[in-house]
């Protein structure tokens, strides 16, 4: 088994974080410094910062309506980090990010394998948002958001965009560039006043209020690792 998978299965972190730990020299296998791609077998002693990995605990999959002001990080030194906010008994981490000024649906787990399945671009998991901007929306703005906007030297992928009111629209993305929607809107001179994520794949925020959490169902967990899973077009996310 690859070392990053072994670490993530302990619930210590995601595979991506495990790779960062390995690259930083924090991980040893049988007393020797590990390298990216290292394979481990049963009986090998894996230490992080000189300490053994935690015993594998029950898998946790929860949905949170992240309020504004909470930061999607596991770093304990960051005030208002999402792990402290949730206060779960298990060591969990967020799947992807939702910036501090945004709110809405975010998933947390201790299963590093499922993180990779959700975040892989080729799986095409949709993410749906409701966005309020200023000034009022124009048809040109909506068309540009749907077609793709050049930000940071690259053009965003086409998206599904629907007007909801004079200042609010729904957008469905299949990619997740850093602060993508805010940067797209800024590029068309319509800064975001409110941004709320309502759906990830087939999982919807539903009636979760800011700060509320719920466990995912077995069906939702299975759907997370399946490519191109989306909710029906009349998703209850639009009412959350």
> Any idea which residues carry the catalytic annotation?
99
CB-based contact 186:125 (threshold 8 Å)? no
Quick check: helix, strand or coil at residue 178? Answer: coil
164 vs 181: CA distance, rounded Å? 16
**Cβ partners under 8 Å of residue 105, min gap 6:** 63, 64, 65, 66, 98, 197, 198, 199, 200, 203, 204, 205, 208, 237, 240
CB 20 within 8 A of CB 31: no
In the DSSP assignment, the letter for residue 236 is: G
In which element (H, E) is residue 180 found? helix 180-187
């Amino acid at each position: 088994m690859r070392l990053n998978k072994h670490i993530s299965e302990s619930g210590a972190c995601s595979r991506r974080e495990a790779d960062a730990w390995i690259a930083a020299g924090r991980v040893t296998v049988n007393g020797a410094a590990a390298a990216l791609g290292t394979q481990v077998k049963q009986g090998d002693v894996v230490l992080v910062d000189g300490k053994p990995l935690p015993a594998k605990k029950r898998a946790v999959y929860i949905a949170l309506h992240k309020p504004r002001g909470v930061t999607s990080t596991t770093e304990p030194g960051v005030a208002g980090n999402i792990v402290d906010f949730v206060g779960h008994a298990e060591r969990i981490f967020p799947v992807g990010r939702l910036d501090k000024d945004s709110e809405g649906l975010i998933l947390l787990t201790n299963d590093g394998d499922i993180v990779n399945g959700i975040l892989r671009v080729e799986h095409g998991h949709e993410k749906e948002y409701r966005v309020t901007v200023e000034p009022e929306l124009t048809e040109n703005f909506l068309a540009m958001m749907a077609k793709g906007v050049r930000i940071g030297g690259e053009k965003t992928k086409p998206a599904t965009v629907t007007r909801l009111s004079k200042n609010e629209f729904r957008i469905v993305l299949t990619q997740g560039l850093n602060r993508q929607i805010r940067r797209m809107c800024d590029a068309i001179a319509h800064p975001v006043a409110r941004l709320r994520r309502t759906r990830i794949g087939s999982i919807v925020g539903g009636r979760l209020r800011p700060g509320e959490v719920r466990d995912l169902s077995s069906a939702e967990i299975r759907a997370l690792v399946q490519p191109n899973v989306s909710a029906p077009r009349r998703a209850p996310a639009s009412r959350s």
